[in-house]
Structures are given as structure tokens and as C-alpha cells.
A and B are shown apart, each in its own frame.
Chain A
Amino acid sequence: MPEDRADDVRLHERLLAGDDDALAEAYDRWSTLVHSLAMRITADHAAAQDVTQDVFVHLWQYPDRYDPHRGALRGWLCLHARSRAIDWLRRRGAQHRHHTAAAAIAPPPAEVDDGILCQTVTKVVREAVAALPDPQREAVLLAYYQGRTYREVARDLGIPEGTAKWRLRTALSRLADCLDAEGILER
């Protein structure tokens, strides 16, 4: 189900024009996604709400920083949410990192969704992540959820930096293939 980029273009124009109904629409469409993501990274309710608020206030305040011709708004919001959530993790300090790191690199639980987010997408992403070979999943989830650089990934896992880079690249490439095969990946 490729997203309709024309929708993003229209919504973006309305945001630029200062139409706050467009922001409400964006919030209604993607807040679950953004909040889920922030919750997954921070595992903290207050932090996840702060991140969600930051992401949508930022979209409203600086709509010109998003370019609908370069990517889907959904993806842009997710990247943004992730980066804010990682910032929060870093601010919170290193003492908690070890504990959450273990939780983050475990394969995602195969729980049943009850949310309003497109369940098929959630399922596809979960399965694609679960299908990665363990060493690749470990590397990519460390980098994704913990905001580790490839050097830190190499150190954490006791592997050469070149191997860390290769695992990250190969893991993402496989994910992209899976999502593409399901028609999810934006082109």
C-alpha cells in the first residue's frame, strides 16, 4: 500500500499556509505511529508524549523543513521522532543504557495489535525484522533504538568496525527488500 504522495503535497501546502486543521489531520493520522515509536525507544510514557508533542509542534512551526518531493511525510515524522527519542535516551545518561539495550535488541514480540495503525504494516515490519539473521538484527536494532554509531556497535558487539558497517547496511537492505515486496516502501 504505497502512500499517496499527492496527499502529502496538499497537506504540506496547507501547513505552509498556516491552516491548523491540516495539523490536526496530520496528528490524527500519524500520532499513533509517532507515539508508538517514541514509546518503543524511550520505554517512558512522559518522554514518549514529549517526543510526540515536539514532532508535531516542529512540523507546524517549520513546515518548510519538510519537502514532500523528497519523501513521505510519515517517514519524515518517524525519522524525527526517532532522533528526538534518542536525544532523550542520551540526556538520560549512560547508566540506564545497558538495561534498555538488552530489551531493544530482542526480536520484537509477536503480540496482537489492537491499535488503529495499519495492522498489516505493523505485521510486515515486525516479520521483516524478525527474519533478519541474529547478528544483523542485533546491530541494526542497537543503532536504531539506542542511537549507537557503527563504532559503538562494533565495540558493544566485539566485532571489527568494517563488519559493523556491513551488518547495518545489509540488514537495512534486506528490510528494504521485504518492505518493497509488500509494496510498503516509498520510492
Chain B
Amino acid sequence: MVAHTDISDMLGAWALDGCDDTEAAAVRAHLRECADCAAQARRLRSAVGWLGTDRVEPAPAELRRSVLAAARARRPPAAWVTLTNAYADQVALLDAALADMSPVDWRRADSRHGDVRGMVGHLASNDALLAAELDLPAVPMPTTDDGRAMRVAWRTQAEAMLAGIAKADPGRTVRLAGPGQRPVRTLRDALVQRAFETWTHRDDIGAIRTIPPPEQIQRIVELAVALLPAALRVSDPAHADRAWRLVLQGSGGGDWTVPAGAARVEVTIGTDAVDFARLAANRRQPRTLPHTVHGDQELAEAILRVAATLGCD
């Protein structure tokens, strides 16, 4: 048992990590039992915490980026894990659907891409656009028309992409996939789009229609809403830069005002969130989409028409 005064004398050295291990252990044991010394120790330790701050020398600006990147590489941010998992889930679901297909199924006609093989090839080539942006190695598509080889190549690439993006900066900019102008967005958005397109093509082959979880639907809607103003400016300038509101019901629903925070809107469009996501994939048509319009009818039609052009087809 070390005497109280011995420990008390030692507290300064202890606060500066200047005791040997045995002494430090004795101090710690004493502090658990002696409230006076514990209070004093906290006070001295706190003074040490300020000691080196007598001069200012800011870190170089470029250090911030490398610190945040190193941190993310050690422990991926939770929101990013959620997004990569959402994409991985869609990859697994489509892969399971393709695994069950017979040679006849693979040749089933698809209005956009010839048959299912064409469709998987199209999906893989859109995935490859992102892989290339991230400098990930390209996985060559098979030269045969064997659907099973196609499936393996697509999945191999998707898995390589998942491994590659796990440690990437979600905020870095990349080009989205799609026909025509490919908007520059964050990698975060690109990953939402990859999961979205993968789901859309699973819908195309008529596999069991499992709808993505509400959070994923919401992310798809958010991306579509974010892309709409620029898309309107390009394809329908007369209806661009207007104020409107989208009120979506059902799974993944919500309320979006464009531009955000606009006090007054010219039209409010109401529909189902999953239907709206399918519209954005060009899998639903505005005229058959059950929806409500309050306000400028023409503006609503323009918005829905342009929304249907946002997908990757």
C-alpha cells in the first residue's frame, strides 16, 4: 500500500506520463479510492491538455483530404456501407434470378435489348462506365452468346466494383451512366443509380417482383428529383426553372419541393413512390401513371415526361 502523500507528490509526473509503469499503476489504483487525489489529477491532466497550445501552426490544406481518406479506408462510414449493401443486395437478387434461367429463358425477347443476354450485356456495359471512372480493372464480356458466361462476367465486374468502391470517397465526382449527356454527380449518386438500374432489369426479366426497401426507393426518388431541373433545361426549356412539388405515397414516399425551400409552387404532383421510381426508369408511362395534379397541368406533364427520360434504359 503506497501512502497518500507519496501518490499526491507523484501526480504531476503522472499527469505528464513521466512515471514508470509500476508507479503509474499505483497512482491509478489510488485515484479509484481517493476522491481528493482524483480531482487533483483531473485538474493537472487538464492543464497538460492545454500545455502545447502556445503557438499556432495550421496543418497544410491538403492534409485534410488525406486524413479523411485514410480514416474512411480504415472504417467505412455507415451511410456508405448502407449504400454499398443496397447495391450488393440488388446484385445478389438479379444474380439469383439469372441463375434459374434455362437457355430458352436467356433468349426471351426484350423490347430494348433484343433478349435477356443483350440486357445483361447492356447492364454490364453501364456498370463498366463507372468501373472505368474509378480506374478499376475492366472485366471483358464473353465473346460467346452463352447467357451463363454473361452472367458470370457481369457479376464478377459488379463484385470487383463493390470491393473497389468500399474504400473510395463517396463524395468524389463521377459521370452517371445513361444515354446522351451523362451528368456529373457524386459517387454516392452513381451507386444509387447502379442499384436502381440493377433492380429495373430484374423487373424486366419478370423475376419475382421484390421491391427495394423504402430507403432505397427514397434515394432513387431523391436522385431523380435532383436530376430533373437540369434535364428540363436541356429537353424542355420552356418548363425549366419553375417551382413545383412532388408528393409521393407508399413505400419510400415523401415530399419534395423544387427548388428546395420554394415558398410557392406552380403545381403539386401526387403519385405512388414506387410508380414514380419506375417512371424514372422509363418502365411506366406518364399517361398510364395514376397521379393527381394541383396547379399548372402543362408543367406537370412536362415534368413527368422528362422524368421518364432519366433512366439508363
Contact = CB atoms under 8 A, between A and B. Distances in A.
Given A36-B52, A61-B75, A168 B46 contact: no
A153 B10 CA distance: 13
Given A31-B63, A61-B71, A185-B46, A36 B18 contact: no
Given A56-B67, A57-B71, A61-B75, A166 B46 contact: no
Interface residues of B, number: 46
A172 B44 contact: yes
Interface stretch (A4-12, A77-85, A92-100): A77-85
Contacts of B74: 57, 60-61
Contact of B12 (A33, A60, A171): A171
Contacts of B208: none
Interface residues of A, number: 80
A60 B47 contact: no
Contact of B60 (A18, A49, A164): A49
A23 B60 CA distance: 17
Interface stretch (B76-84, B105-113, B302-310): B76-84
Nearest to A164: B13
Contacts of B45: 71, 75, 79
Contacts of B58: 31-32, 35-36, 115-117
A125 interface: yes
Contacts of B49: 71-72, 74-76, 78-79, 186
B248 to A, nearest CB: 26
A18 B52 contact: no
Interface string B29-68: 0000000000000111111111111111111100110111
Nearest to A174: B47
Query: What's the dominant secondary structure at chain B's contact region?
Result: helix
B15 interface: yes
B11 interface: yes
B57 A31 contact: no
Interface in A4-55: 17-20, 23-24, 27-28, 31-37, 39-41, 48-49, 52-53
Contact of B16 (A78, A143, A162, A179): A143
Interface in A112-151: 113-117, 119, 121-122, 125-126, 129, 140, 143-145, 147-151
A121 to B, nearest CB: 7
B64 A31 contact: yes
A60 B18 contact: no
A176 interface: yes
Contacts of A149: 13, 18-20
B12 to A, nearest CB: 3
B10 A165 contact: yes
Contacts of B19: 149-150
Contacts of A79: 45, 48-49
A183 interface: no
Nearest to A139: B12
A166 B9 contact: yes
A28 to B, nearest CB: 8
A37 B68 CA distance: 20
10 contacts: A24-B64, A36-B52, A48-B59, A81-B52, A82-B52, A86-B17, A125-B54, A144-B48, A150-B19, A173-B44
Given A17-B78, A149-B19, A185-B46, 20 more contacts: A19-B77, A27-B67, A35-B58, A39-B55, A41-B52, A60-B75, A61-B74, A61-B75, A78-B52, A78-B53, A116-B56, A144-B52, A149-B18, A150-B12, A152-B18, A168-B15, A169-B11, A170-B12, A173-B43, A186-B46
6 nearest A-B residue pairs (beta carbon): A115-B56, A18-B78, A169-B12, A75-B49, A168-B12, A20-B77
